[in-house]
Amino acid sequence: MKLVRPTSAMLPAYRDALQRGFLPHNTEQVRLEQLRQLDEDPYGLIALTHDPEGKGPPFVRPDGSQQARLPGITRWMWHDGADGGPFVGAINLRWQAGTSALPPKVPGHIGYTVCAWHRGKGHGTVALIAILAEAQQIGLDHVLLTVDEDNTASRRTIEKAGGACIGPFEAGALLHPDVSSLLYRIDL
């Protein structure tokens, strides 16, 4: 498994994963929106995966509020020849220029999702460790990640990559309003 910058040639495999139930950003709303984007503006979807200057459209939160987009990149977890298709998952890195600090209500520098049919094979750990090198190249000295408290697999992934739990994260309507979340830190 390797991390790749998404290209238009990879879109058929990505569409297949979305149609099979892959949830980007862990939400059905985003899955449906990205299927629509694939039909209407596939190149626009690809463009949003590489926005290191944060010039894309505002980010729309689950509650409908908007926030200026941070600089960010998305890498796809890719495994040619994998059962279930080559698209394994996605990992996102976002930051504020010139600082490791994040604006209020931003739930971390890194978010990742692995397709349900590819879980349990260590892909999330490999992807997280790989994206940490990119975070360091950008100039971050640490990254923050949030995880649902009951998501023991993701907690283990973060811990294997050097993450330490620093306490609860009050996600409220930002993520899953009825789920307790934890905040992790990985020093780079």
Residue 131: φ, ψ to 5°: -70, -25
Number of domains forming the structure of the chain = 1
Angle between helices 152-160 and 123-138 (to 10 degrees): 50
pLDDT digits (tens, 9 = 90+) for 100-139: 999 877 889 999 999 999 999 999 999 999 999 999 999 9
Q: What is the DSSP letter of 24?
A: G
Q: How far is CA 116 from CA 35, 92, 113, 152, in A?
A: 18, 18, 9, 15
Domain of 78: which CATH number?
Answer: 3.40.630
Residue 181 three-state SS: strand
Per-residue pLDDT tens for 148-178? 899 999 999 999 999 999 999 876 555 556 6
pLDDT over 60 at 48, yes or no: yes
pTM for the complete prediction?
0.92
- Structure confidence by residue, pLDDT tens digits, 51-79: 999 999 988 776 777 888 999 999 999 99
| Tokens linked to 63 | 């509650």
Q: Is 170 a domain residue?
A: no
Handedness of CA 88, 125, 5, 65 (dihedral sign): positive
Tell me, what's the pLDDT at 84? 74
Domain limits for position 93: 2-140
